[in-house]
Each structure stands twice: as structure tokens, then as C-alpha cells.
Amino acid sequence: MFRVIFLGFLVFTTFCVVAPTSVYAISLDDEEEDAEDVADMLAQAQKAGKSEEFGKADALLKEAKMYGVKTDDMVETSKLIANKKAAKAERERKERERLARIKREKEERARQARVAAQRQVSRSNRYITSLGYDAPRYQYDKYTLWYRPYISISDGSHIYAKVTQLYRGACYELLAGSNDSSIYGNCSNCSNSTNGYWSCHANGSGSFTVNGNQAQAANGIVQRSR
């Protein structure tokens, strides 16, 4: 009977010593495996972050945090992913600004081209809409026969036109134009009348003739100036 009791005591004592040691050893093994798994996931998360695969990187980092293992690598990985996200966002912002600038420049060039085309069409179809008023008499000299300082043009600009009698008496000269309209020209007429054949020249155009009065000759200069 004593032997049975002694044997039972010996088995119990052995279990109390060996069992906790085994449990502690298993626990250490689990922690080491968890640490290895976390380190592997963090390495993969860093690799994914560097490749800008942020969905994958975030998932790996989240899974690693679930193990409850806090390491410097965890903090480093979180910072790396955050920095990569910020760098990509900044790069995309600059690219959007670049594309927007290119679009604005393209639109501005197109607008300027339209304005230039419209201006060209307008210039090719210009004509006098009003002869305006006669200049004050003090602006006349003894050779001036006709002077209109503010003639209105169809494109909204204005010109002056002046007829003077040349020294020969039978010839006349017409000058017309202005700086804001790019209209310049002159005509001469030796038919002994301001209503006759005018030999003319206009800015950007060749020579031409007008059979009519000085206003019609001035209008010919307007229509042909470029």
C-alpha cells in the first residue's frame, strides 16, 4: 500500500514539474512563430508600399497588427506606406496641374487663332458706315478741299480722310487711314474734278482704281487695306 502511495506521489510531482515547462516551451514557440509571421508580412507590406500597391500593403499591415506584436518594423512600415501615399498624391497633383496648364494654353492659342481669323474676315469685309463730321475750318489750309477726321468703319475703328488740291490745280490727292485700324492709303486724281477716276494704293494691297467721288475712293482704301 505504501508503495502505491509513494508511486502516485512521484508521478504527481513529476507532472507538476514537467507539464508547466512543456506549456511554457509551446508558448515560446508560438510567440516566435508569430514574430516570424509578422516580420514576413511587414516585409511584404514594405515591398508592396514601395511598388505603390497600397491596397495590398494596407491589408498586410492590418493583418500584422492583429497579432498584437509591436515592433520598430511595424512603425517603420506604417511610415513608409504613408510617405509613399503622400508622394504619389503630390505627384498626381502636379501632373493634374501640368495637364490643366497645357489645356489652358491650348485653349488660349485656339482663342487667339479664332480672334485672328475673325479679325482677318472682318478686315476683308470692312467698309465705311459713316463719314462723320466735317473738320473745323481752322484745320483747313488753302489746299484742303475736304476733311473728315472721324469716319466710322464697320469693324468699329475710325479713320480720317483728307483731299488736297495739288499745285497744278487740276489734280487732287486723297489721304486716308489711322493707327488703330491698320488702314492706310492714298489716291490721286487728275481729271479736274474730285468726282472722277482715282488711282489708289492701300496698305497690304496693290494698286487699284476707283471711279467716283472722294468718299468712294476712301471706301476703296478701307476695303483693300489688310
pLDDT digits (tens, 9 = 90+) for 120-162: 555 568 999 999 999 999 999 989 999 999 999 998 899 999 9
Alpha-carbon separation of residue 207 from 26, 30, 159 (angstroms): 109, 103, 20
Amino acid (one-letter) located at 189: N
pLDDT at res. 211: 96
Report how far residue 79's alpha carbon sits from residue 91's, in angstroms, rounded to the nearest whole number: 18
Report how far residue 151's alpha carbon sits from residue 144's, in angstroms, rounded to the nearest whole number: 17
pLDDT at res. 9: 52
Inter-residue contact 172 to 145 (CB < 8 Å): yes
DSSP β-bridge partners for residue 183: 178
Report how far residue 123's alpha carbon sits from residue 141's, in angstroms, rounded to the nearest whole number: 32
Per residue of the chain (226 residues), what is the pLDDT tens digit? 545 454 555 545 554 544 444 444 444 456 677 778 888 888 898 898 888 898 998 998 888 888 776 778 888 888 989 998 999 999 999 999 999 999 999 999 988 888 766 665 555 689 999 999 999 999 999 899 999 999 999 988 999 999 999 876 789 999 999 988 889 999 999 988 999 999 999 998 889 999 999 999 999 999 999 8
Per residue in 51-72, pLDDT tens? 889 899 899 888 888 877 677 8
Residue 162 is classified by DSSP as E
pLDDT at res. 31: 64
pLDDT at res. 213: 96
Alpha-carbon separation of residue 200 from 23, 33, 184, 217 (angstroms): 116, 102, 11, 8
DSSP string of 48-80?
HHHTT-HHHHHHHHHHHHTTT---HHHHHHHHH
pLDDT at res. 100: 96
